[in-house]
Structure 1
Amino acid sequence: MKAFSAANGPRLFLDESSVLDIGGCFIGDVDLSPGRAIPDDGDPRIDHSLEGFLFTCGPDHIRHPEAVEGSADGRKYPLHGSFSSHPAEILFWDAQGTDAECRARVPVTLATGETALLERHWRIDGATGEVSLSDKVTNTGSKPFPPVHMYHMNVGAWLFDDNVRLTGRMLEGGGFPWTFGKDPGGVFCVPAGQEGEHWAEIALGPIAAIGGLTLKVKFPTDTLPYLQMWRNQKAPAHVLGIEPVSHRAASRYELTEKGELGSLKPGESVEYGLRFCFV
């Protein structure tokens, strides 16, 4: 892990061993990442990634394993896709001044054996403390594939008290307590954007454990038009996830039948991103 911070904002630890995702996310001495308070889905790649504050699903699959189309040997897309565990090649790193910035490239082998390239750009604004992530995914293989993408932003929920709420225009009633759904937890997925809006925003807080700060997350709705939320308080898990995502919660078969998966041809690219800050 490489420490990454600016004059203001969180102190991040970026994971070179897995697509330069975020491991630890510190406000002062408090790490918001869930660590081992996570469910075990039987995939060691995801077990490692889920411990961190943010990991990336895709580019060939999101959510739980499903069969690879046309495969005669019963192959499946892995849990949350192929990104996790691919090492990052850092191209630029500057975290010495007021701001912080880095760029990396991550060659990825897909479940089909084809390839893609993730070009990743992290930046922290030293004046505002806002963290921004810009991603570009390019099909470097010989065949088209349906591009899918999800950011898992996971927070250790033992840090929350009864005053912590989720707030966003996409949520029913504009927001509700973080303990949504039935115990010990659940998942929902909703359209993220309002008509005419190009960015969606969701807030989580105030979090007394970090001085009453609120986590605000923004993401573009052109390529991430949905927001998935999940929480799990079934011991040893104690985690809440904020998940901007490219597609609604449905099987690959259903999304394909309804023409929602799309196709990324060899040489074509698609861009994703998000921003977050503590205010």
Structure 2
Amino acid sequence: MDFKAAKGPRLSLDPTSVLDIRSCVVDGVDLSPGRAIPDDGDPRIDHSLEGFLFTCGPDHIRHPEPISGKDGANYPLHGSFSSRPADILDVSLEDDADCRARVPVDLADGGKALLTRHWRIDGANGEVHLRDTLCNAGETPFPAMLMYHMNIGSKHLDEATRISGAMIKEGSLGWRFGDPAGQVFCVPAGKGGWAEVRLGPIAAIGGRTLIVRFRTDTLPFLQMWHNQSAPAAVLGIEPVSHRWVGRAELEKAGELDLLAPGETREYALTFAFV
């Protein structure tokens, strides 16, 4: 579904999978990675990872781990969101673009959740806004986990492109951090208010910089990754609810945020090219 305003990027939203972003076109350039991605053996995630932004959760993030009390059963790669169709409630494509949807989700452990999603592009400044409300629509609590997985085709980046933010050691680093073939890190982003991370300049889109901001009350960490092992050529910017350790360690440390039946959590991010 095409989604654009008077100013800002031209997006394609995917109603077949959580109303995530497939393409993000700036100055005629699609910044999504397409097929230049790693293959983790899950076609749902292959489809999602091709796009500019997909949503991980709400019952699990990152790689599969066992479901407690279910012998041999695992949470799926990146959780149960991916491939869930969205029920679009209303769309407006005037000077400002606005779209609201609901996404019912059957969780891997048998529970149920409901995501209420609101996309908006400010036609005055081109900034894209995402507001999500996650509700436990089932009968038992579950740990709410969420990660926005923003993927940029790194073929558009060069040696001048850097990652910058208050959570980054020394304030910034080159986008090809760590092992040139690929690496992941996850750092605290704050404990309230909004965090900001920048990627730029990006010469392919006229030297613009991508600015991503996100709520840190429910997304207190920033994960970053890149994979340059052929055929992959992708960089990920990932606001996330939990630090980069396994579920057992999170549970032991009391860091699994239980969402009671009928209870909600709110998440938000914005991004713009300036």
Task: Give your verdict on TM over 0.5.
Answer: yes
Q: Give yes or no for the alignment of 1:266 onto 2:269.
A: no
Q: Give yes or no for the alignment of 1:142 onto 2:139.
A: yes
1:188 maps to amino acid: F
The structure 2 residue matched to 1:211, chosen from 192, 206, 209, is: 206
CA distance in 2, matches of 1:69, 1:171: 35
Q: Give yes or no for the alignment of 1:199 onto 2:194.
A: yes
Q: Give yes or no for the alignment of 1:124 onto 2:116.
A: no
What's the counterpart of residue 251 of structure 1?
246
CA distance in 1, matches of 2:185, 2:60: 18
Q: Give yes or no for the alignment of 1:87 onto 2:85.
A: yes
Q: Give yes or no for the alignment of 1:190 onto 2:187.
A: yes
CA distance in 1, matches of 2:207, 2:219: 29
User: Aligned to 2:259, what secondary structure does the other structure show?
Assistant: coil
What's the counterpart of residue 8 of structure 1?
7
For structure 1, the 5+ residue unaligned runs are: none
CA distance in 1, matches of 2:26, 2:143: 37
CA distance in 2, matches of 1:246, 1:98: 33
CA distance in 1, matches of 2:16, 2:111: 21
CA distance in 1, matches of 2:158, 2:252: 43
Q: How does 1:1-279 map to 2 (within 5 A)?
A: 2-72=1-71, 74-95=72-93, 97-193=94-190, 198-279=193-274
User: Aligned to 2:81, what secondary structure does the other structure show?
Assistant: coil
CA distance in 2, matches of 1:70, 1:54: 32
CA distance in 2, matches of 1:22, 1:161: 24
Q: How far apart are 1:198 and its partner, in Å?
A: 0.8
User: Aligned to 1:77, what secondary structure does the other structure show?
Assistant: coil
Give the TM-score taking structure 2 as reference length. Answer: 0.99
CA distance in 1, matches of 2:246, 2:124: 43
For structure 2, the 5+ residue unaligned runs are: none
The Cα offsets for residues 220-255 of structure 1, whole Å up to 9 and x where unpaired, read as: 110000000000000000000000000000100000
Q: How far apart are 1:150 and its partner, in Å?
A: 0.1
1:278 maps to amino acid: F
Q: 4+ residue stretches of structure 1 with deviation over 4 A? A: none
User: Aligned to 2:258, what secondary structure does the other structure show?
Assistant: coil
Q: How far apart are 1:28 and its partner, in Å?
A: 2.2
2:37 maps to amino acid: I
Cα RMSD, aligned residues only: 0.7
The Cα offsets for residues 170-223 of structure 1, whole Å up to 9 and x where unpaired, read as: 001000111101120100000012x7x510000000000000000000001100
CA distance in 2, matches of 1:264, 1:67: 19
CA distance in 1, matches of 2:70, 2:254: 21
Q: How far apart are 1:71 and its partner, in Å?
A: 1.0
The size of the alignment, in residue pairs, is 274
